[in-house]
Amino acid sequence: MKLFHGGSSPFVRKVMVVAHETGQIDKLELLDGGTTPIETNPELAKFNPVGKIPALILADGTGLANSPVICDYLDSLHRSAKMIPASGSSRWEALHFQAISDGLMDAAVNNRYETMVRPETLRWDAWSAGQMGKVDRVVDALEDSVDILGDRVHIGTISVGCALGYLDFRYGDRKWRGSHPKLAAWFAKFEQRPSMQATMPPKT
C-alpha cells in the first residue's frame, strides 16, 4: 500500500501510529503528500479528490480517504489487538474520542491557515478566536475524561495523543499543561510509546 504522507499532519500521524501499533509499518510505502488548500497536489487528488492527506492507495490501485477510514482499513488487516473495539460502549467511547480529537486538529489546522497562510490584511480575529475556542473546549473535556483514557491503547487514545502532540508542535506557547494537570500526566506517559516516538513531528 502507498500512503500520501506529510510529517506535519496530525491526521497522517494517527495513521502512522496505528500502523506501528499493529505491526504494519513496513507495509506502507510513503509518498510525498505535500499539498495546501490553495494549491492541491495533483497526484494526491487522483486518489482523494478532496485533496487532503492522508490518502491511501490500495493494492488494486484505488484510493481510500480519510484518516478514520484508513485507520479502520489498517485495523482490518491484522490479527493482533484491535485498535477499534468491535462493539459495545468501548467502541463508541473510542470513536467519540477520535471525533473530538479530529475536531481539535481541524480547528488548530484551520487557525494555522488563518494566521500563517492568509494574507495578513485579510485575517479575521473572530474566526481565529472561534477555532481556538474549539481547541480549548476539547482540551477541557479531555481533562475531565482522563479516567476513561487510562492505560488504553485504541483509536481514541491515539487520536488524543496526536491532537496534543500537534498543539505542542504548532502552539507551544499555549501551555495547556498548567491548567490540565491530569491530561498532562496522561500524555507524558502515552507519548513515550514507541509508536508515538517514531512519529514525532519535525523540529521547527
Residues found near its own copies in the complex (CB under 8 A): 36-40, 45, 48-52, 58, 62-66, 68-69, 72-73, 76, 87, 92, 95-96, 98-100, 102-104, 106-107, 118-119, 122-124, 126-127, 129-131, 133-134, 137-138, 140-141
- Which residues are CB-contacts of 186 (< 8 A; sequence separation ≥ 6)? 146, 149
Q: Which is nearer to its own copies, 125 or 203 (CB)?
A: 125
- Smallest separation (angstroms) from its own copies to the CB of 44: 11
Q: Which is nearer to its own copies, 120 or 204 (CB)?
A: 120
Which is nearest to 134 in space by CA: 158, 108, 164? 108
What is the C-alpha to C-alpha distance for residues 85 and 75, in angstroms, rounded to an integer? 10
Q: Could you tell me the smallest distance in angstroms from the CB atom of residue 105 to its own copies? A: 10
Least gap, CB of 69 to its own copies (angstroms)? 5
User: Smallest Cα–Cα separation from 166: which of 202, 194, 192, 130?
Assistant: 202
Residue 186 or 195 with smaller CB distance to its own copies: 186
Residue with smaller CB distance to its own copies, 24 or 66: 66
For its own copies, the closer of residues 112 and 137 by Cβ is: 137
Q: How far is the CB of 198 from its own copies (least distance, A)?
A: 26
Q: Residue 171 CB, nearest distance to its own copies (Å)? A: 17
